[in-house]
């Protein structure tokens, strides 16, 4: 029977931390844009931005019983997110930029890839079975966006636009595990999984690829 034995320490590697930080920034940007489209005030923008950035990682850490949470251990990022919200609101108002769904597609794809990888790796470090590690990667990647949309009184886009989103994260997570098993290079699995997830997500949007949905008779 196939088994996986992580070759990591019990704490996240520096690469994992870097991925988590960049992914947090990418999803924070999507939260700001969505909140701005809803014309929320600064408190609403900050809350939606925080949910987008930290929601998936927090759920993962709760399920894995991992403490402290990312945003508690690296609390300086709370200040960075708040500053980003203020700067973004001022910039968007003064430049009169039209807020469209296309604005969040690229940072959302980047965040999807980065959080899928970090969630999967952290679950592996904790000793989780392969399937659980994959599911943790998917939840880390999508749950922040789910909370973001719920806070903005919308059905989560991950469930309604019918384009592969969680499916791509699922595939990318397994790809990361397979590459990590077959190579000792720390960067190669991350690079391949990241590129695959981003390309698949952007192609799905460009080509309007959809997955089967519930059809009423």
Does residue 6 belong to any structural domain of this protein? no
| ∠ CA 135-143-2, rounded to 5° | 10
7 assigned to some structural domain? no
Cα separations (Å) of 89 from 24, 40, 45? Answer: 18, 10, 9
9 domain residue, yes or no: no
pLDDT at 5: 42
In a domain, 212, yes or no: no
pTM: 0.80
Whether 57 maps to a domain, the answer reads yes
Percent of the chain scored above 90 by pLDDT?
18
Dump pLDDT digits (tens) for 189-212. 888 999 999 999 999 888 887 777
Average pLDDT over residues 159-165: 79
Mean pLDDT of 18-30: 78
What domain range includes position 194? 14-206
The pLDDT tens digits of the residues spanning 34-90 come to 888 888 888 888 888 888 888 888 899 899 888 888 788 777 878 888 888 888 777
22 pLDDT above the threshold of 80? no
Please count the CA atoms within 13 angstroms of the CA of 85 that sit on its side-chain side: 26
pLDDT score for 14? 65
Q: How many domains does the chain have?
A: 1
Q: Please tell me the predicted confidence (pLDDT) of residue 90.
A: 78
Residues 100-122: what's their mean pLDDT?
Answer: 83
SS3 category, 160: helix
């Amino acid at each position: 029977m196939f088994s996986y034995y992580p070759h990591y320490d019990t704490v996240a590697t520096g690469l994992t931390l870097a991925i988590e930080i960049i992914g947090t920034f990418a999803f924070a940007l999507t939260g700001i844009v969505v909140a701005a489209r809803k014309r929320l005030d600064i408190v609403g923008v900050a809350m939606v931005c925080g949910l987008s950035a930290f929601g998936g990682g927090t759920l993962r850490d709760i399920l894995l019983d991992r403490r402290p949470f990312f945003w508690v251990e690296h609390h300086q990022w709370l200040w960075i997110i708040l500053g980003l919200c203020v700067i973004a609101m001022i910039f968007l108002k003064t430049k009169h930029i039209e807020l469209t769904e296309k604005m969040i597609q690229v940072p959302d794809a980047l965040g999807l890839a980065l959080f899928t990888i970090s969630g999967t790796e952290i679950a592996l470090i904790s000793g989780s079975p392969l399937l659980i590690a994959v599911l943790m990667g998917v939840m880390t990647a999508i749950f922040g966006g789910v909370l973001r949309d719920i806070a903005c009184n919308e059905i989560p886009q991950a469930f309604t636009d019918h384009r592969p989103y969680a499916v791509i994260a699922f595939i990318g997570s397994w790809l990361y595990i397979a590459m990590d098993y077959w190579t000792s290079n720390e960067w190669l699995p991350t690079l391949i999984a990241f590129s695959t997830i981003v390309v698949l997500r952007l192609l799905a949007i460009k080509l309007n690829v959809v997955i089967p949905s519930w059809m009423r008779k």
